[in-house]
Amino acid sequence: MYWRADPWDLYDGFGGFGGFDDGFGVNRRNFASVSQRARDARATAENMFLEYLVTADTSKGSATEEIIQFHMVPDMRKSFSKFVREHGCKSTPRQLTRAEQDKINAGRKSLMWYTSVTVSAAAQKAYTEKNPAKAEELKKEFKKKAEAALAAKKAKEARMAAVGGAQPVASGSGTNKSAPPARSQPAVAKGKITAKA
């Protein structure tokens, strides 16, 4: 760290607050505007949107679901929204309430934003016709996640029954077999976003 003899030089030329130098000798020219973690969150959100685009039930009209249940920084929310619009769909971010936030992370001061997306039948058809192989791959991934989620639920119910907790639901006893499984959300582990099974 160094100190300049002329304090007004902080604002001259490309130095100081007007350029890449912060006035204390730190050149911020190569600093990233957003972190890699934020970019990874956007990439995860885009993949989740494409999966929802091909698997959403649009038989009765447009389908809307809050599929992004993790925070994205403002720049990445804008970028994600643009990505969604490019596919003929709509994204709607919402800021969590303090009560919702406290259930997730009571220590966080700023409130997180989640995002819902709306998919129309026309947008779904256009994407699947333009990208048939990718659409089929996304459907297979979704089915695999749904089966894994169902197996995990049954295993949990069996554990609960073994310790005297809630009884497992017998197959075919009033369960809605046509209901779609809950969408998996990414888990944050040591600064990296990984997909949940």
For residues 135-157, average pLDDT: 87
Would you list the domain boundaries of the chain?
Answer: 36-150+185-194
For residues 28-51, average pLDDT: 84
End-to-end Cα, the chain, rounded Å: 48
- For residue 40, pLDDT over 80 is answered with yes
pLDDT-derived band at 149, boundaries 50, 70, 90: confident
- For residue 193, pLDDT over 70 is answered with no
Weakest-pLDDT range from 30-34, 64-68, 148-152, 162-166: 30-34
Q: What tens digit of pLDDT does each residue of 65-118 get?
A: 999 999 999 999 999 999 999 999 999 999 999 999 999 989 989 999 999 999
- Model pLDDT, residue 136: 86
pLDDT-derived band at 25, boundaries 50, 70, 90: low
- For residue 6, pLDDT over 60 is answered with no
The model scores a pTM over 0.85: no
Instruction: Find where tokens 């995860």 sit.
Output: 44
Q: Which of the residue ranges 135-139, 157-161, 172-176 has the most confident prediction, judged by mean pLDDT?
A: 157-161
Q: Are β-strands 192-194 and 187-189 bridged in parallel, bridged antiparallel, or unpaired?
A: antiparallel
Percent of the chain having pLDDT more than 70? 67
